[in-house]
Structure 1
């Protein structure tokens, strides 16, 4: 399974950012489940996050 989230780099509604584990937490969860994770700026502007998880028939929550 592949999940990608991108944005255009424009600022959102100005909502406060929630405290959490962010990109580090996403990377750890992906690796724990045998997947891969990448995140960074896009050449055309904005930011992208990509996660690949193996489909081995088990159900997990990340």
Structure 2
């Protein structure tokens, strides 16, 4: 019982350390990542809106 508890604590502790290290790494890359996501989202939205407006203009011209 005692040994298992100690083992669990050690495992959980090392997992938390790993997560913290990863979090620091991610945090240091976060600004770039956020910028990338924003750029991709903007691009997708802009292209879709542009495509729709182009289609609408074509429809109007056809009518």
TM range (shorter): under 0.3
* Structure number with higher relative contact order (C-alpha < 8 Å, ≥ 6 residues apart): 1
TM-score, normalised by the number of residues in structure 1: 0.24
Bigger fraction of residues in helix: 2
Q: TM-score, normalised by structure 2?
A: 0.24
Considering fraction of residues, name the structure with more strand. 1
Larger Rg: 2
